Structure 1
């Protein structure tokens, strides 16, 4: 336990993570309520897929640039501005809903605005996490950040499921707006003299291309990053499939919130298991991807809601472990002045892939079958794992493949940073 939560020895980290947890509970309340509201208005899986695409399209288009901006500026200040803008978005959504003027077009427009803000907030906020602790605890802090995000998903969807009936979606959006007081307050109260500030990148030049070149030339990042992008595109679209499955297969729309809650219990476990490791290897990342794929395929054909609730736990565990591993590996590998860009590029690969995978998942659900809207992503995930293992097993003779193989088989030294790699 002491190893898992070692970053919480630092007051700034404790303060930040508490604020982040409370704020993200509100975020998940809103996320769950928006999906249910769109389902009520349209009754189409494709409409939810479009909603997902609009939320994450800005990350695909602007995320890498947002990372470059975060590396060049004070990340705490930038995060305060972006979190304030997210609060304004929640207030607008609540106002339209409570006044009875909400419609699909307004939801889509405000969701797109949310995506634009997140494209800059994501690298600033996540990059700032690395400034809360010394270098030796960065991988742990990154993992606890993911654990905080996934832990909030345990409570947010459950709150939405309990309150959407008596309160309605408008008041749930209001809860999210109020929750931003927690994260803004924590950022304001941090002791800035105890921050481990990273050097800022110089303005100008080609910061995004520099980040891409770093990943391309790193034998320990390139292959995992490609696999991460493919799996993120097709293996994480359960938020598109679950709302329709809740209504059509499991019998009631509120099951969407409860399945997300049990899945988030697994996600929290996956994040904490990764946080407990002093060093994260590609083998750990691949193992979690396998758990994600197998559990997702089983859940797609579960039928009974009680079985879906059980299978959601290992699905969440594998998914969070996979994502947290990728984030930790990138931070182990990259120099301090590039952390915002590399985090942004992983966010682009993960969140920016939703505009592609979300609509495809919606079409599969409407025209092939709801079960396949979840199962096809699980098959893609398992196929990607097989391809990575095959690729790493020396089908080519390049030295980089051999290094990836060593890492995949568990050699911690294969991923250890060297002085020559990090001047």
Structure 2
């Protein structure tokens, strides 16, 4: 489960990310609470607009941000984006403390935060694969999600206590200070121990990522599922804050709901770290469980009963997202990883500007329970799309012994054999030949492999007499 910790650079990154993520979750909680209770009178629609401004830029800038993540040094890019996020958090905190913050000004800050995050997110996701070898990439991604959700357990609860004790402004100031942990980690990381990045053949183009995804039906379906859930299901700030108010809770009660959600999220991330690789079927399982948990939570009559359903909701959503992230990263050509991840993050975060205002309007008009049922319905639609594709692709009927088959590439020497995993597309298998010293392919641990029968040897001919 923790095998990536054997790498020095990943250990340093994990600690720095954990500190920074705690601060970011504190800020996310405080931002939602300020918009809902300080700058407006419990206006869920205003929260939807704020979320749309934060998560819209990743969708609009998807081509540029992915190209930047592939073209430039990711470590230096992260130092720039993390420094910018630190300054923005500090500025918001100071304006709130002096009483100068207004709703239009908060909208402006939300937009700038979204622009910086549009460059930060794909770079940060791709950088995780630069820290460890390819065979540990899925584990490192899952542990990264565990760090994110461990912070989610602490951040909202701490933010709720700080808001009640000293006010929301100090939450943003504390968040600005936590970015020092990430910047220090990036400075300590040893650049010479990073995994060498693959270079794209020819000139890297912005459209290459779009063309690559368009040829992969598995990625297209994954992106559609993530978009639907991101747009209508992952509006947790709207759901949790309005449900907390409905149950008569204050800011600390809202923060506690976010932390309880993170308990299930952390469990899902750790279980994902135990899997040897990401599978599409696990994505589908997470979507189905999300739909059931959301539907049940909408009918819970008391605060603690609703809080229990949030654990299952957090488990399901992180299982889906962690597996989807790992699947995209480990099955994508390294030279295109930044652009494909930018598309993935744009689909995930860009769905929120589309769905959050709709969900916010539904909650404002009909109450939070109806809004949660909208998210559950989105889960049913996403699950149906994934299930139809899985059945039509024929993967359900494949025998376990055929999960990995070996094929000889006639254009290469006989010692080069291409493994074609069940979950990988044929173009990916063609780009990852595995040369072996004995002319055969070593089977993966726990996988049945079929090999071509060796050609029978011809009997040696008797030597002809040599003429003088």
TM-score (norm 2): 0.84
Q: Residue 72 of structure 1 contacts residue 200 of structure 1 at CA under 8 Å; is this kept in 2? A: no
Corresponding residue for 1:36? 33
Which aligned pairs between 1:340-355 and structure 2 lie closer than 5 A? 340-355=338-353
Q: Deviations over 1:287-310 (max 9, x none)?
A: 111111111111122131111111
Distance in 2 (CA, whole Å) between partners of 1:10 and 1:172 is 33
1:180 matched residue in structure 2: 179
Structure 1, unmatched stretches of 5+, are 395-400
How many angstroms does 1:224 deviate by?
2.1
The residue number in structure 2 matching 1:152 is 151
* Contact 1:199/1:337 (<8 A) preserved: yes
Give the TM-score, by structure 1 length. 0.93
Secondary structure at 1:415 match in 2: coil
Q: CA deviation at 1:243?
A: 1.2
2:202 and 2:238 mapped to 1: Cα distance?
Answer: 39
Secondary structure class of the residue paired with 1:254: helix
Question: How far off its partner does 1:404 sit?
Answer: 7.7
Structure 2 residue corresponding to 1:389, chosen from 387, 390, 393: 387
CA apart distance, 1:200: 4.3
Is the 2:153–2:258 Cα contact (8 Å) retained in structure 1? yes
> Would the aligned equivalents of 2:67 and 2:205 in 1 still touch at CA under 8 Å?
no
Please, what is the CA RMSD of the aligned residues? 2.0
1:15-414 aligned at under 5 Å gives the runs 15-40=12-37, 41-42=39-40, 43-201=42-200, 206-207=205-206, 209-394=207-392, 401-403=393-395, 406=398, 411=403, 413-414=421-422
| More divergent stretch after superposition (24-33 vs 247-256) | 247-256
Residues 173 and 421 of structure 1, relative CA distance in 2, 3 Å threshold: same
Cα 1:407–1:18 shift into 2, 3 Å? farther
Give distance in 2, aligned partners of 1:128 and 1:149.
15
Which stretch shifts more, 59-68 or 352-361? 59-68
Separation in 2 of the partners of 1:407 and 1:351? 36
Shift of 1:246: 0.9
**Aligned-pair distance for 1:405?**
6.8
Describe the shift of the 1:235–1:404 C-alpha distance in structure 2 as closer, same or farther (beyond 3 A).
farther
Give SS of 2:422's match. helix
Counterpart-to-counterpart distance in 1, 2:397 and 2:104: 49
- 2:416 is matched with none
Q: What is the CA-CA distance between 1:253 and the residue it aligns to?
A: 3.6
Deviation at 1:203, TM superposition (A): 8.7
- Structure 2, gaps ≥5 residues long: 405-420, 434-468
Higher alpha-carbon Rg: 2
Question: Displacement of 1:50 after TM fit?
Answer: 0.7
Query: Aligned residues, how many?
Result: 412
Q: Which has the higher helix share?
A: 1
**CA offset at residue 158 of structure 1?**
0.6
Q: Distance in 1 between matches of 2:185 and 2:49?
A: 34
User: Contact 2:160 / 2:255 at 8 angstroms: preserved in 1?
Assistant: yes
- Higher RCO structure, 1 or 2 (CA under 8 Å, sep 6+): 1
